[in-house]
Structure 1
């Protein structure tokens, strides 16, 4: 087998399993560990993977790896739509209520469903609080929805409003439901995100809302990113698109987290 063919197979293995070890690859391809390390060095140089101690991981498994909003909008779209639809059923249609929408692709799909929201009884109103510029823009045209956008610095990568002033505003609020996104959901580590400033806002959302609903497609399950913003027990409901692994499901049940499969 030529080196190029072997390296292509290594990339496929890393993509499917997220992590490979030098010894596993040496055994699989019947080559020396030194040859494996040269292959991994070459693939890292081509930005196909990232070297770690004893092997390599997929680039999307890095603790600080984060894609732009535009890149994420095209990924797992059908799954996110199902999650957003399930979340929509939790929003009250009668009496005046308040919800908090975190910045993110799934919460933005939930906002798409709210564009045509109408109260069950005339005169009722829904207050939507958000730190997401795209969400505020989408909902501004619905006269039955009062939109409050949190102030602070706009983070270009995610169009999220972040910073100390954003957190301070959240600390003075107590909305009925907070919908929060996550980059990782792990049995031991909890709910996490790669960015420190967004983590601070997410933690403030979790602490401010009377009921906290996490929206995370199944690609986020059993994953850890850099910063934990909530322990499992701080979330009331997790809406995802596939059953969690046994380990994660057991931990969620022990933390009294309701799991909704959309």
Structure 2
């Protein structure tokens, strides 16, 4: 395939799907990532697309800048998050075990899906998740600290210190981005410190993330892919990205 033909095909991919990743395009056209990046640069100059980190989007599309509040995120990918939350129940420990629910709208759906008849120790630093779990028959612990209004979660040294005294059977962890080079990431360093501590003290780390977060990177990395046991996502994940996660020994579950 000539370069002009490949570039036209790439432009068509972005126009139809709204976005495309460098990794997926390199695999699709059997060329190197460097070749794809040169193609994207040429197509951006000609106005066919807009380059973003890791790929390209339709011209004029504006990538998400900054961090969305919890109310905005509750309205985003809702059906996918509900399905992911339900799928998470497969990874609950046996009765007598402990579960940590990280702050986030997908982990919130996992809290809502928790069976009422389980006897577990439930721990969270999220105010909305604590409220959702308060009616459970399981024992509930809420970690203290400074409440960050944007995510309605406790953060800071006191929260990290409380976490580091625990050993958790299973942690359901949310993320703003997953990539091979940057691992799991989130915009805020204080949130990243909490998430890092959660990952360190959990025997099993289950990441709950809709597919829009895959191959995306945010400011603060809080875990390597080697720290993850399971990723539960939706069918929108790029098969190339799913295979890359599986190759790292991660169990990828499509909800």
Q: How would you bin the TM-score normalised by the shorter chain?
A: 0.7 to 0.9
Cα distance change of structure 1 residues 23 and 56 upon mapping to structure 2, 3 Å threshold: farther
User: CA 1:258/1:243 → structure 2, altered by over 3 Å: closer, same or farther?
Assistant: farther
**Cross-structure match for 1:132:** 126
Aligned length: 217
What's the counterpart of residue 37 of structure 1? Answer: none
CA-CA distance at 1:131 after TM superposition: 0.7
Match in the other structure for 1:24: 43
Runs of 4+ more than 6 Å apart: none
Find the counterpart in structure 2 of residue 174 from structure 1.
167
SS in structure 2 of the partner of residue 228 of structure 1: strand
Q: Output the CA distance in 2 between the equivalents of 1:184 and 1:145.
A: 31
Q: TM-score, normalised by structure 2?
A: 0.77
Pairs within 5 Å for 1:1-262: 16-17=18-19, 24-28=43-47, 58-60=62-64, 62=65, 65-92=66-93, 94-114=94-114, 117-119=116-118, 125-142=119-136, 144-242=137-235, 244-262=237-255
- Secondary structure of the residue aligned to 2:88 is helix
Q: Does structure 2 retain, via aligned residues, the 8 Å contact 1:18–1:58?
A: no
Per-residue CA deviations over 1:28-50 (Å, capped at 9, x if unaligned) read 48xxxxxxxxxx9xxxxxxxx9x
Give the 3-state SS of the residue equivalent to 1:210 in structure 2: strand
Instruction: Verify the 8 A CA contact 1:154 1:160 in the aligned structure 2.
Output: yes
CA shift for structure 1 position 254: 3.3
Stretches of structure 1 lacking an aligned partner (at least 5 in a row): 1-11, 30-39, 41-48, 50-54, 120-124
Larger Rg: 1
Using the TM superposition, give the Cα deviation of residue 18 of structure 1 relative to its aligned residue in structure 2, in angstroms: 8.3
Q: Using the TM superposition, give the Cα deviation of residue 91 of structure 1 relative to its aligned residue in structure 2, in angstroms.
A: 1.6
Contact 2:171 2:205 in 1 (8 A): yes
The Cα of 1:97 is off from its aligned counterpart by 1.5
Q: 5+ residue gaps in structure 2?
A: 1-13, 22-39, 53-58
Q: How far apart, in 2, do the equivalents of 1:177 and 1:90 lie?
A: 8
Q: CA RMSD in A?
A: 2.8
